[in-house]
Each structure stands twice: as structure tokens, then as C-alpha cells.
Amino acid sequence: MKIKIALRNLIISQALIFIFLVFAYLFWFPYSFVHLGGFFDTAWMIIFVDLILGPLLVYFIYKENKKHLTFDINVLLSIQLIAFVFGAYSLFLKHPAYAVFSVDRFVLTNVSNIYPQPSWFHQAKKHFFSSPKLMVAQLPVDPKERNSLTLNVILNNEPDLGSRPKYFSPLDTHLDQVMQRSLNIEQLLLTSNEEEELRLFKSKHKESIEKYSFFPLTGNNKKDMIWVLDTKGGTPVAILKIDPWKLKISAVNYDK
């Protein structure tokens, strides 16, 4: 009987966690953002507590005719539920609300990094069931506001431009300017040691390599990779696990 109870707990937990993680993977961490957004750390915590620790504790605690058995089982189920809610909320805070182009790179701005903090919840509500928005961050036009922003970032350690939705515009409204800042693919091919990663990309995408633009991408876990976008529409294509800062300075198309 105890095995049956533990298995029932496991099956219900599996179904709940599977549905949630599929949702998070598809909507909160699309475009392979799972490699940059801290998805796996939190997902493994949820899986461990709810799929391994929970059923095991139910198995060991369950004894027929045990006094207060129902109470014990309910306590364990409550702990599992609290752990799941905590893990789900942690994943929500980590998921990128925006992928923002700032200066020469894209930065993933997760929900908890939206600035200023009073607007955090208001902004986060817009993205609960949606994928990260592709945006461009621009310095304020007003010189006083621009200088104040710069000084606060440098001297007061306030969040940079990429965390301030106030200064964001949709990527498609600045697509031409952004594409001019892409990495030079010829230099990328010459200077990168990740030949296998590039070979796989080229074999998968048979079209001319000129159809794609390559940008540094910084994630929540402070890892840097290369994000590939379709040059014409700005549609995300792939993430290459290549450190863009190992490339030569000349790898950036500043002369476009």
C-alpha cells in the first residue's frame, strides 16, 4: 500500500512539474535562453524536492493504521506544494522579460532586474504568459537626463540602460542601425576556436551566411555567447556557445 501511495504522489508531481517546466521552457526561456537565464538550476531544485524527496518521504512515513497518518501526509504534501510554488516563483523572477540591444550587444533583462523597483510588478505582469520582448535601449535625448543617468550608473552603482524599460523601443523600429553593429562573420570564422559549433550551425542553416547577423549576448548567469538573428527581420535563429570577447576587436563591423 505504501508503494502505491508513493507512486501516486510521484505521478501527480510529475504531471504538475512537467506541464510547468514545458511552459517555462517554451514561453519564458525561448531561443535557447535556458543556457543563459538560470533555468536549469531552479528546474533541478524543483525536480529534486517534488519528484525525489517528496515521494521518498511519503514512502518512509506511510504506515497503515499509524496514528495521525493523514496529518503527516498532508504536512508532506503542503511542503511539496510550498517548494513547488517557491521554485516556480524563483524561475519567474529569473526569466528574461526583455532581450535588449544596448550599445554593441544584447542583454537579457530578467524580471527581478527591471528598474526602478516600484515599476517591477507592473512591468512583470505584462510578460507573465509571453516570451521576452526584443528591444533596443537608447540614451535619453535630454542632455541633463542623460548625464544624470550616466553619473548614477557610474557613481551610485544603479542599473545600466539595459534594465530600464523607460528607455526601450521595439527592435524592429531600429533594425537597420542594430544590424550595423553585428560581428563580422568572416573574422568570427577566422578567430573562433569553436570550429565545431560553427560547423554545426552552417550545416543546419544551408542558406548564405550573409543572411544572418551575429551579436554578443549576455545572460543572467553572466555567461556570454553569440546570438544569431535573421538580418532582414531580426528574428532569433540560434545561440552559439562561443565567447564573443575572445574575438579580435576588428571582428565588429564598425565600418558598415
Q: Is the dihedral of CA 102, 105, 110, 113 positive or negative?
A: negative
190 & 137 share domain: no
Looking at 60, 94, 128, which one is the last position of a domain?
94
Clarify whether residues 181 and 211 are in a common domain: yes
Q: How many domains does the chain fold into?
A: 3
Residue 256 lies in a domain: no
Domain range holding 141? 96-173
* Side-chain half-sphere CA neighbours of 40 within 13 A: 6
| Same-domain pairing of 198 and 154 | no
User: Measured between alpha carbons, how far is 154 from 143 in angstroms, rounded to an integer?
Assistant: 16
- 82-104 pLDDT, tens digit each: 888 898 988 988 888 899 999 88
Domain identity same for 114 and 127: yes
Flag whether 157 is in a domain: yes
Residues 169 and 183 in one domain: no
- What does pLDDT average to over the chain? 81
Is the whole-model pTM more than 0.85? no
The β-bridge partners of 214 are: 183, 228
Same domain for 231 and 215? yes
Average pLDDT over every residue of 118-144:
80
What pLDDT digit, counting tens, does each position of 157-216 carry? 888 888 898 899 999 999 999 999 998 766 666 655 566 777 778 777 766 777 889 999
- Is residue 188 included in any domain, yes or no? yes
Q: Which of 32-36, 147-151, 249-253 has the highest mean pLDDT?
A: 147-151
- Domain boundary residue, one of 129, 154, 173: 173
* Co-location of 247 and 193 in the same domain: yes
Please answer whether residues 171 and 136 qualify as being in contact, where contact means their C-beta atoms are separated by less than 8 angstroms.
Answer: yes
The pLDDT of residue 193? 57
Within a domain: 53: yes
133-137 and 105-110: which strand pairing? unpaired
**Is there a single domain that holds both residue 202 and residue 153?**
no
In angstroms, the CA 62 to CA 46 distance is 23
Of the three residues 36, 62, 94, the one that is the final residue of a domain is 94
